[in-house]
Amino acid sequence: MSGHLYLWLIPALPFAGFLLNGIFGAKLPKSLVTTIALLAPLGSFALVVNAAATIFLYVSRCKLCGPPDYGWSILPLNELHGAWITSGRLQIDFSFVLDQLSLVMLLIITGVGFLIHIYSVGYMSEERGYWRYFAYLNLFLFFMTVLVLAGNALLMFVGWEGVGLASYLLIGFWFQKTPAADAGKKAFVVNRIGDFGFLIGIFLLLSTFGNLTFAEIGARLAADPAMQGGVVTAIALCLLVGATGKSAQLPLYVWLPDAMEGPTPVSALIHAATMVTAGVYMIARTHAIYDRSPFALSVVAIVGAATALFAATIALVQTDIKRVLAYSTVSQLGYMFLGCGVAAYSVGVFHLMTHAFFKALLFLAAGSVIHGLGGEQDLRRMGGLRKNMPITFWTMTIAVVAIAGIPPFAGFFSKDAILYAAYQEGAGGKILWFVGWLTAGLTAFYMFRLWYLAFLGESRADLHAEDEGALVHARSDTKLTLEAEHHHTPHESPWSMLGPLVILAVLSVIGGWVGAGRFGAFLAPSVGARTAEAASNTLEITLTALAVLIAVIGWFVAHRLYRNYAGEEPLARASFPYKLLTHKYWVDELYGTLIVKPILAVSRFVLEMLVDFAILGGIAWLLAGMASFGGALLQRWQSGNLRSYAAWLAAGAAALLLFALVPWTTVLADVGIHLNSAGH
C-alpha cells in the first residue's frame, strides 16, 4: 500500500489544539477558540476516515487480484516514532499500531468526540472557562487516541493515565464547587488504584516477555503454547484490576457516578462513550494473554456480570437523571466485560460501539433537558417535556429503546450477541446468561422509568422534593453558569446541540445492523475469532425472543408504575430494598469506613504521632536530653567555690598519681582481668 497514513497526526492535532487553547485561550476571541477546538477533532476524524477509506480501497482492490482476505494483511500497520525510554536492555518506543480494533475505536472516539465537541459549543456557550473546557476536551482526545493507537503497553499506559487526567480536569471543571473538586480527585485516585494493577501487570509483562510490545507478546505467546496459567493469569488479573478502575467495574466503580459533577457533554464523551470503555479495549487488545488463562477470563466474566446486575439495581431508584445514566453506564460496561469474559472480544467491542452511540445520545439528550430546564437534574421535578422539547424527546426515545434492547435498534444486536455468547459457555455460562438477561429487564425498566418521568405526564417543576439538600446537590451541574436562565419555561436547545443528537439517533438505530457476526469477522485478525460450536438456530432464536421479552416486560412494568407518576415513588413501598438501593448499598460509606478512614487514622495516630513524633522524635529528644542533662550535671560541678575547685584539682592530682604509680595491668591481672595493652 502506498501513501502514509500519518497516524501520529491523529493524536497530534488535538494536542496542538490543547496547547493553543490552553496557553492562549484566555486571550483569544471565543470564535477562534471554537474554531481551533473543533478543527482539531475534525482533522483527526478526517484522518481516521481517510485511513479507513485508504485501507478499504486497498482491500477491495486486492480482492480483484488475489485471495479474498489478502488485502487485510496490511494490517496491523506499524508506525515507529523513535525511542521514548531507553535503559540498558529496556527500550520503549513511540509506536503506533493501526489494526481493525484500533480503527473501530478511533472511528468511535474521533467521530463521537467530534459530535460532542459541536454539542459543547452550544452547551457551554455561556461558560467563562470556555477556552479551558475545550483545551481539556482536546487533551482528552489526544490521550484517548494515544491509548488506542499505542503499540506497546507502556504507551497505552500513557494514554490510560492521560485520559484519567483529562477526566480529572473535566470533572473538576467547576472547581469552585466542592463536590466537583471532590469528585475529580476521587476519580483520579480510584483510577490510580486500577493503574497500580496495570503497572504491576506491565512489570510482570516486562519480566515475563522482556518486552511490552503487543505484537511481540502475541508472537511469544503463539510460539509457546505451553505458556498457560501461573504468571499469565497473574498478568491478566493485574491488567483486569486496571480495567476495573478505568471501566468502573466492581469494586472500583465508585468514582463514575460522582463523575457526573462534570459538564454533561463530558459525561457523554468520557464517562459513557469512550474513556470508560478503555478497559474493554485493553482486554481485547491483550486478548492473547486472557486466552491463555481461563481463570482470569472467568473472573472477567463474573466481574462483568456482577457489575451489570449490581449497577442496574442501583439505577432503578436514582432520581438524578445523570446518575441513572451513570449507573446504567456501569451496568452496560459490565455487559462488555461479560462479553470479553466469555472470550467473545469482538462482541464486547461491538457492544462498546453501539453503547457509544446510544449512551452518548442519552447523555446529550439529558444534557439538552438539563439545559432546557435551566440546570434541573431531578427527575421528580421534570415531566411533560415531550411538548416543550420534541426533538430531544424523540432522540431520547430512540436511545431508550436502543438501550432497552428492542429490535431493530442498535442495543438489541449487541446485547443479544453477548447473552448468546455467554449462554454458550458451559454451565457457568448459563448463570452468566441469566444474570445478563435479568439485567436486561432491569435496564429496560429504569430507562423507561426515566423516560416516563422526564418526558411524559405533566410538568412537576414546582414540586418541592422532601429532600432539599439532595435536590440542590442534584441541580448543581450547570447552576453556576446558567443562573441567568434559571426561572423560565423549558425550551428546546439550539441546533448546535440538536444536530449531534439527531446524528447519534440515526447511529443508534442503524449501528447494530452490521451484525455481530460480520463485525466479529472484521475484528478477527485483531482479537481472534471465537471458535464456538455452530449453535443451533433454534437456540439463538429462543434466546433472542427471551431477551426481547424481558425488555418488553421491563417496559411494561415501568409503564404501569410511572405512567401516572405524581411525586410519589412507587418503588418506595418496598421500604428496605428501596433504602438499600437509594443508598447505593452503602458502598461509599463502606469504603470510607474500611479503607480511607483507617489509612488516615493509622497515618495520623500510628505513623505520625507514634512513630514520627513519639519514637523518632523521642530518640532525638532523648539524645539531646541526655546531653543537656550531662551539661546540667557538669554545671553543678562548677560551684563557683574556690576551695571546691582546689579540692577537685588536688583530687585530680591524686588520680593522676594513682593512675601512674599503681601497676594497673598487674593489679587487674590479679583479679582476673587481662588487658592487651595499657591505654587504648
Q: What is the DSSP string of 326-392?
A: HHHHHHHHHHHHHHHHTT-HHHHHHHHHHHHHHHHHHHHHHHHHHHHTTS--BGGG---HHHH-HHH
Per DSSP, what are the bridge partners of residue 378?
320
CA dihedral 233, 239, 242, 247 (to 10 degrees): -100
Q: Kindly state the smallest distance separating residue 27's Cβ from another protein, in Å.
A: 12
Of 636, 672, 674, 676, which lies in the binding site for another protein, with binding defined by CB under 8 A? 636
Q: Does 678 bind another protein (CB under 8 A)?
A: yes
**CA-wise closest residue to 318 among 173, 449, 489, 214:** 449
**Residue with Cβ nearer another protein (57 or 658):** 658
Smallest distance from the beta carbon of 680 to another protein, in angstroms?
Answer: 6
Helix, strand, coil in percent for the chain, rounding step 5 = 75, 5, 20
The answer for 569, left when phi > 0, alpha when psi is -120 to 50, beta otherwise, is: beta
Cell representation of residue 398: 430512540
Distance CA 211, CA 203 (A): 10
Residue 648 binds to another protein (criterion: CB under 8 A): yes
Report 152-191 residues binding another protein (CB under 8 A): 154, 157-158, 161-162, 165, 168, 172, 175-178, 180-182, 184-185, 188-189
Q: Which is nearer to another protein, 217 or 347 (CB)?
A: 217
- Shortest Å distance, C-beta 181 to another protein: 4
Minimum CB distance to another protein, residue 157 (Å): 6
Q: Are 253 and 308 in contact (CB under 8 A)?
A: no
Which residue, 210 or 426, is less far from another protein as judged by CB? Answer: 210
Nearer to another protein, 567 or 652 (CB): 652
Q: How far is the CB of 84 from another protein (least distance, A)?
A: 7
Considering only residues 574 to 633 of the shown chain, the ones binding another protein according to CB under 8 A are 599-600, 602-604, 607-608, 611-612, 616-617, 620, 627-628, 630-632
* Options 66-74, 342-350, 581-589, 648-656: segment touching another protein (CB under 8 A): 648-656
Measured CA to CA, the distance from residue 57 to residue 70 in angstroms comes to 13
What is the grid cell recorded at 488?
423560565
Query: Which of the residues 188 through 217 are near another protein (CB under 8 A)?
Result: 188-189, 192-193, 195-196, 199-200, 202-204, 206-207, 210-213, 216
For another protein, give the closer residue by CB, 94 or 335.
94
User: Alpha-carbon distance 256 to 307, whole Å?
Assistant: 13
Secondary structure (3-state) at 604: helix
Question: Does residue 553 interact with another protein by CB under 8 A?
Answer: no
If binding means CB under 8 A, how many residues of this protein chain bind another protein? 93
Q: What is the closest distance, in whole angstroms, from the C-beta atom of residue 587 to another protein in the complex?
A: 18
427, 534, 566, 634: which one binds another protein (CB under 8 A): 634
Query: Considering the rule CB under 8 A, would residue 645 count as an interface residue with another protein?
Result: yes
* Shortest CB 374 distance to another protein, Å: 22
Residues of span 95-154 touching another protein by CB under 8 A: 154
Q: Of 56, 63, 97, 54, whose CA–CA distance to 79 is shortest?
A: 97
List the interface residues with another protein, window 430-459 (CB under 8 A): none
> Which positions from 73 through 102 interact with another protein, judged by CB under 8 A?
82-93
Alpha carbon distance 278, 275 (integer Å): 5
Q: Which is nearer to another protein, 146 or 314 (CB)?
A: 146
Contacting residue, 538, 575, 638, 666, with another protein by CB under 8 A: 638
Subset of residues 292 to 351 that bind another protein, contact rule: CB under 8 A: none
CB 377 within 8 A of CB 363: no
Q: Are 379 and 454 in contact (CB under 8 A)?
A: yes
Contact 459, 358 (CB under 8 A): no
The distance of closest approach from Cβ of residue 177 to another protein in the complex, given in angstroms and rounded to an integer, is 7
DSSP-assigned letter for residue 150: B
Which of 64, 660, 666, 671 touches another protein by CB under 8 A? 660
| Complex with another protein: residue 539 or 620, whichever CB lies closer | 620
Least separation, in Å, of the C-beta of 207 and another protein?
Answer: 4
Nearest to 504 by CA among 356, 294, 285, 347: 356
Smallest gap from residue 241 Cβ to another protein (A): 11
647 makes contact with another protein (CB under 8 A): yes
- Amino acid at site 319: T
Segment contacting another protein by CB under 8 A, of 276-284, 388-396, 465-473, 649-657 = 649-657
CB of 109 to another protein, least distance (A): 18
Backbone dihedral angles phi then psi of residue 568, each to the nearest 5 degrees: -115, 125
What are the start-end ranges of the H helices in 66-177? 100-123, 130-149, 153-171
